[in-house]
Chains A and B, each alone.
Chain A
Amino acid sequence: MTENMSCYVLCDPNKCTGCKACELACFAEHNKENNDVAYTVGTVTIPVTPKLYLTKTEKYCMPVQCKHCEDAPCLNACKKHAIYRDENKQVIVDQSKCIGCKDCVMACPFGAISILPVSDNGAVLLQKDKECVKAASKCDLCTGIEGGPACVRVCPNEALRLVDLNEEQLAKSIATANSLYDSRLS
């Protein structure tokens, strides 16, 4: 048996209505600790920087987010070693190492990474020339956050789900084997 596969969040575009609750929950969840974002609007003093991106075309409407690829092009493209794989196999950006070179944005085949302003202590970080500090921003599956991915929790249409293919693949393998076994008997 090979090693475990990483998990990712999958959207059913037939259920998504484009309400952006996922984007806002993602932002709020990731800025609770360092930027004091709480439940009321008055607590938000920084730009909204989600880690998933609602995308609309004529036929689709769904958030696009990181698939935590097993052979991650972003990780392999990053020259500053700012992207790493954690103990759960999730692909994570260390924004403190990121310089916003955009190689990962280029490398990602899904458009799941964006370069966005970085905030701390309730304010945007600034460079010497007063431009704001920007870094790669992408889904980290709310690693370390109680209750799992915020986007999945808040979606009013239950359009998002956390996919764990290790279990799903096993379940499907068993179902396939069962059906073949049954058909042989009959």
Chain B
Amino acid sequence: MTMGVHEIEDAKLIFNFGYNGADSHPIVQRRIVRAKQKGATIICADPRVTECARIADVHMQLKGGTNIALVNAMCNVVYNEGLVDQKFIDEKTVDYDAFVEVIKKYTPEYAETICHVPAETIRKAARMYAKAPSAMILYGMGVCQFGQAVDVVKALGSLALMTGNYGKPASGIGPVRGQNNVQGACDMGALPNNYPGYQNVTKPEIQEKFEKAWGVKLSNKVGVPLTHVPQRVLEEKDPKKQLHAYYIFGEDPVQSDPDAEEVREALEKLDFVVVQDIFMNKTAEFADVILPGTSWNEHDGVYSCCDRGFQRIRKVLEPPKGVKLDWEIICEISTAMGYKMKYKNTEEIWNELIDLCPNFAGATYAKLEKYGNIQWPCRSKDDSDKGTVVLHQGKFANPDGKGKFYTADWRPPQELENEEYPLSLSTVREVGHYSVRTMTGNCRTLRNLEDEPGWIQMNPADCEKLGIKHGDLVKVVNKRGWCITRCNATERVAKGATYMTYQWWIGCCNELTIGSNLDPVSNTPEYKYCNCRVEKLDDQAKAWEYVNTEYKSIRERMGIKMVGKEAV
């Protein structure tokens, strides 16, 4: 994020694109609601009527998989109506002309044929955005989880560039990241191409720095992205390039990754699988070794918020006897494998890390204690450097200091609706259950609110055509797999489109999602678009029996104990 999350409340205009805060991050949505109460204009682009769409001044209910056509059309309006910040463009940016060449053909009328958003609505939104004294873009997985994702991020970034919406309070562009501390995972170098602090593994001077600090030889090769794992296990013929072992830490790829059948096949084929987690999950069923980890309140550490803010977390509970802290497990495995890794506490780890990362160097534990939250870059240990709320003030992070314009032509999603599978399917979130529910599924209160087999959101007209009604169990199927779930008939979704949350074991939409269409840069899969067919189940009693038996059997396999009157 180029801004701070707290700044959302002060925004004059929020352009909320493919981001459903009310279900994903109620605490961030609270800021959007407050901004609205304080008079902010809200533009929402989302194929569903989300809570944000409901309170928006303009809702562009676009067809799924057409993001970039809509953004290009908004840029087209801003350009053609002379609403650009020419001074900003001249002084602080490059590649404007090439960008304009691409957006020229995306007139609102042309975009309407792709996105199904009326041309006049696009014009209205573009004018509102460009004319606002300052405007903030927030986007979420509705942008990132497509085969064409990074292009859209850059196009949104360009919309902000052409209107000069950087480097000032409550402006800029903010990816509201999918999970807690996913920003931290990236900051810490849990990416195939980076050391901590976004320092590239292919750069000799960086390699040398880390080799010297750690006293070992390091590889200059980029690693394997998570989403390439099944392919590298199942299809790679060269045994040297094949993956043989997989150490999975706080993830449940069988539940969270697309095309679950393919993930299971890969895990079956791997020689050795280690899972480190706090509860059993679907992936742990394939593990050769399970290492019990500690939960967020059983260890110390630092989280990064999506706005680059470091915050301390503190242990409030002792872990169960015999359970080691996550960082202790890593140290012991490393030592057993020949690299002696030893720390006294998390502060010692943190100090080593910030000394190796210039952008984090000033964020000491002492300052985190004092200020509560420090947004990087924070380069000086001096008390006066409290971090950076607003990025790109004066100049951009590129070597030449300029903001780079970029957009691309629209590419449709890989797997479109057809006669056999006439509906589109997108994965979404719902409030109450976090991620794959490894944690919240074990929370009896939240499970009481929503439980298996989940729901498929469908337009009432589509339900009527199929002769199904709200609450009926239905079978959702495509060429990769199927699942059984309940029908949620709602006007909040458009005809022809369906939506499922991805955490259910029985109503498991990732049996259907597509694993092969990755964004070429981010390697993120196209979770937000594949085709499907919904089938009516005539024998509802039998279907419920299937759901209940299957659920019971999974719970038994996972060793989940029944407490109280659990069957209710």
Contacts and interface: CB of A to CB of B under 8 A. Distances in A.
Given A20-B432, A45-B565, A46-B565, A15 B445 contact: no
Contacts of A18: 22-23, 51, 431
Contact of A58 (B21, B36, B490): B490
A165 B563 CA distance: 45
B444 A57 contact: no
Contact of B563 (A27, A45, A132): A45
Interface in A17-47: 17-21, 23-24, 27-28, 41, 44-47
B33 A157 contact: yes
Interface in A54-68: 56-61
Contact of A17 (B33, B443, B446, B448): B33
B229 to A, nearest CB: 33
Contact of A19 (B22, B36, B444, B492): B22
Contacts of B384: none
B445 A48 contact: yes
**Interface SS of chain A:** loop
A27 to B, nearest CB: 8
A156 interface: yes
A20 B445 CA distance: 11
A123 interface: yes
Contact of B443 (A28, A41, A159): A41
Interface of A: 14-21, 23-24, 27-28, 41, 44-48, 56-61, 117, 122-124, 132, 156-157, 159
B568 A15 contact: no
B48 to A, nearest CB: 10
Contacts of A23: 449
For B23, B26, B36, the residue with the greatest tally of chain A CB atoms inside 10 Å of its CB is B26
Contacts of B446: 41
B248 interface: no
Given A45-B563, A45-B564, A58-B492, A17 B30 contact: yes
B33 A19 contact: no
Given A18-B431, A19-B431, A44 B445 contact: yes
Given A14-B37, A15-B33, A60-B54, 19 more contacts: A15-B37, A17-B22, A17-B26, A19-B29, A19-B431, A41-B443, A41-B445, A44-B448, A45-B444, A45-B563, A45-B564, A46-B564, A59-B54, A123-B564, A124-B565, A132-B565, A156-B27, A157-B34, A159-B33
A157 B54 CA distance: 15
Contacts of A124: 564-565, 568
Contacts of A132: 565, 568
B445 A14 contact: no
A19 B32 CA distance: 14
Contacts, number: 81
Contacts of A15: 33, 37
Given A45-B444, A58-B491, A17 B51 contact: yes
A129 B207 CA distance: 72
A61 B431 CA distance: 13
What is the interface of chain B mostly: helix, strand, loop, or mixed? helix
Q: Across chains A and B, which 7 residue pairs bring their CB atoms closest together, nearest first?
A: A45-B564, A48-B448, A17-B22, A58-B491, A19-B26, A41-B443, A124-B565
B492 A122 contact: no
B278 interface: no
A14 B444 CA distance: 30
Contacts of A44: 444-445, 448
Interface string B25-50: 01101100110110000000000010
A61 B26 CA distance: 14
B195 to A, nearest CB: 38
Contacts of B563: 45
Interface string B435-469: 00000001111101100000000000000000000
A14 B51 contact: no
- Residue from B36, B51, B442 whose CB has the most chain A CB atoms within 10 Å: B51
B428 interface: no
B36 A14 contact: yes
Contacts of B37: 14-15
B492 A48 contact: no
Interface string B103-114: 000000000000
11 contacts: A14-B55, A17-B29, A24-B445, A41-B446, A46-B568, A47-B568, A59-B54, A61-B51, A124-B564, A132-B568, A156-B30
